[in-house]
Structure 1
């Protein structure tokens, strides 16, 4: 359960006096998510999301995250809009944690990804990339190539507890990616965590994107590489080329990829696989006994990495130049 900080009734009532959102009717914890404490806040004026930012989120980064959400919303992208208090500020403190209220988004995340989900996602990603081009703030990706090395070193030989020989596989892959990682592709602000539980749909219509707390400046095509991993594999680890083709095609209808970006996709997809393999591995190794949140299986991303290592050309992703 992703509620790490319990909020007493009197404290949320006092907190809400700093807003023009009416009085509290109910506050219900949201079980999904792993980084922050999230609640559905129901007041006499409507439904909202109350988020308390836990220790893994740097307070100094919050103006970037909240500002980016507001910027996207102003450009017509459906995402949580930060709610300002009576003093004009959208960031304050509750129960000793930085806290913010955002607008509530209707919709559900897809439990079973269908091709139409990938079609809608590609278009929305491209629209977000274009909308973020004039966002004035910047934040480096702490989980890019150098960050992978830090997580890899932190896991050390404990990787062998998960799978024999895994340490050597990870070190070899990191060395290859660090040497060949592209540096001169188009960059901008990316969401960087566009998994299915962060994208809402109402029937076949994408109704909104949530959870911007990994957003950062990086290669725009790297976002697509993350989504190839998150959206285009089946439960048996087989790659669904139809889903990939739809996602990439609708992206390019809005923002065409350069030839360099297209040719870099297999390498970027390997990097995205390694990134999530490593962070899942770290969480698996360091999972506290009795914790509510169950760590995700890192081996899922080892299987995805092996697929991308076998890719011969971008035609394996459904793209024909």
Structure 2
């Protein structure tokens, strides 16, 4: 989430007049994320999330996302529900942008998820894949076909002139030339509706003295139809690496880079996922390449955003170099890495944990 389009109190109040959600008490922008403008609304009837769709979003595809969230919610997945205005529309216009109000989910994200949270998100991802069955397809606009275009566009923005930036672009280009020919054919693996952005900040948890549980999944606006295992690869990238200093303090390991890989977390993600949807042998064999692709996708979009984000946008820019290190890690893995027991397969030939 982020804020590219600032709103006034009067604009928000006028927009709310079309809904049965009570009177506006307060609102604030949400700076996390990189794509759309998001606001937390407090009204006399509760809290809600207002999203204005920006940049990479095709307005013609917005009904698909809203249908997906409605379907998943109806099938038991805790996710935001689009709220209709008094005319029955869930999609409206505000400040010249398409906008939607969705329900607010309780809970908080975990910046440093442990193995329990990784197991829970693996299970939730499998539930999402099962609940999405039977829905019409939407192409992945940030799939392999888009990566060369993104890489080329990265050089067009401001701030891309540094030697470090140029070296990262060159490294991505070399990796891409090896990755694309190895990418699975569309019919090679099971496909379905995927979240495609299931990072820790898009998953909420609740806990008290008696219970700890995953309370919700948010931000479905990258969702699309693709390999189900590609979604799993995104989670392995997003949930199973830690900043090197934090990981070293717990594990006694060492790393020269920004991040360190945690095989125990990867094992937990896979255990949670396969408790509901066991992987086919072909999916397991494809995971090393899919993990490289997931790292490449976020490396390229972060690289692009690093130089193209407007300076006045309320956005937390994400580090592309951390995903270069993930890419290097997965490129070093044996092709059989996920066909072995995870704690064994994700170590190097000497039995040591592979550091990114």
Q: Secondary structure at the match of 1:264?
A: helix
* TM superposition shift of 1:319: 7.5
Which shifted more, 161-170 or 2-11?
161-170
After superposition, the Cα gap between the structure-2 partners of 1:106 and 1:311, relative to the gap in structure 1 and judged at 3 Å, is same
Give the structure, 1 or 2, with the largest relative contact order (CA under 8 Å, sep 6 or more): 2
Once the two structures are superposed, what CA deviation does each residue of 1:278-315 show, in whole Å capped at 9, x if it has no partner?
11111123344455424222111111111111111213
* TM superposition shift of 1:31: 2.3
Q: Partners of 1:67 and 1:119 in 2: how far apart?
A: 27
1:197 alignment partner in structure 2: 201
Once the two structures are superposed, what CA deviation does each residue of 1:119-160 show, in whole Å capped at 9, x if it has no partner?
10010000000000112x321001111111111121259586
2:331 alignment partner in structure 1: 309
1:166 alignment partner in structure 2: 168
Q: Partners of 1:156 and 1:317 in 2: how far apart?
A: 38
Q: Secondary structure at the match of 1:162?
A: helix
Q: Which residue of 291, 308, 318 maps to 1:269?
A: 291
Q: Partners of 1:248 and 1:55 in 2: how far apart?
A: 33
* TM superposition shift of 1:316: 7.3
1:28 alignment partner in structure 2: 28
1:16 alignment partner in structure 2: 16
2:146 alignment partner in structure 1: 147
Contact 2:242 2:262 in 1 (8 A): yes
Q: Secondary structure at the match of 1:141?
A: coil
Q: Partners of 2:95 and 2:55 in 1: how far apart?
A: 13
Contact 2:203 2:214 in 1 (8 A): yes
Which shifted more, 25-34 or 68-77?
25-34
Q: Secondary structure at the match of 1:86?
A: coil
After superposition, the Cα gap between the structure-2 partners of 1:306 and 1:17, relative to the gap in structure 1 and judged at 3 Å, is same
Contact 2:240 2:265 in 1 (8 A): yes
Which shifted more, 68-77 or 162-171?
162-171
* TM superposition shift of 1:163: 4.5
* TM superposition shift of 1:32: 1.7
Q: Partners of 1:164 and 1:7 in 2: how far apart?
A: 37
User: Aligned ranges for residues 66-77 of structure 1 at < 5 Å?
Assistant: 66-77=66-77
Q: Partners of 1:108 and 1:20 in 2: how far apart?
A: 27
Aligned length: 319
Contact 1:283 1:295 in 2 (8 A): yes
Contact 1:245 1:319 in 2 (8 A): no
Q: Partners of 2:74 and 2:312 in 1: how far apart?
A: 42
Q: Which residue of 179, 182, 185 maps to 1:180?
A: 182
Structure 1 unmatched runs, 5+? none
| Aligned-CA RMSD value | 1.9
Q: Partners of 2:227 and 2:162 in 1: how far apart?
A: 32
Q: Partners of 2:73 and 2:295 in 1: how far apart?
A: 30
Once the two structures are superposed, what CA deviation does each residue of 1:41-95 show, in whole Å capped at 9, x if it has no partner?
1222221111111233221121111111111000010000000111111001112
- 1:95 maps to 2:95: yes
Q: Partners of 2:104 and 2:313 in 1: how far apart?
A: 28
Structure 2 unmatched runs, 5+? 245-258, 346-356
Contact 1:132 1:188 in 2 (8 A): yes
Q: Partners of 1:259 and 1:160 in 2: how far apart?
A: 44
Q: Partners of 1:84 and 1:114 in 2: how far apart?
A: 37
Q: Secondary structure at the match of 1:133?
A: coil
Q: Which residue of 212, 221, 226 maps to 1:213?
A: 221
- 1:229 maps to 2:243: no
Once the two structures are superposed, what CA deviation does each residue of 1:89-121 show, in whole Å capped at 9, x if it has no partner?
100111211111100100000021111110100
Contact 1:241 1:316 in 2 (8 A): no
After superposition, the Cα gap between the structure-2 partners of 1:21 and 1:290, relative to the gap in structure 1 and judged at 3 Å, is closer
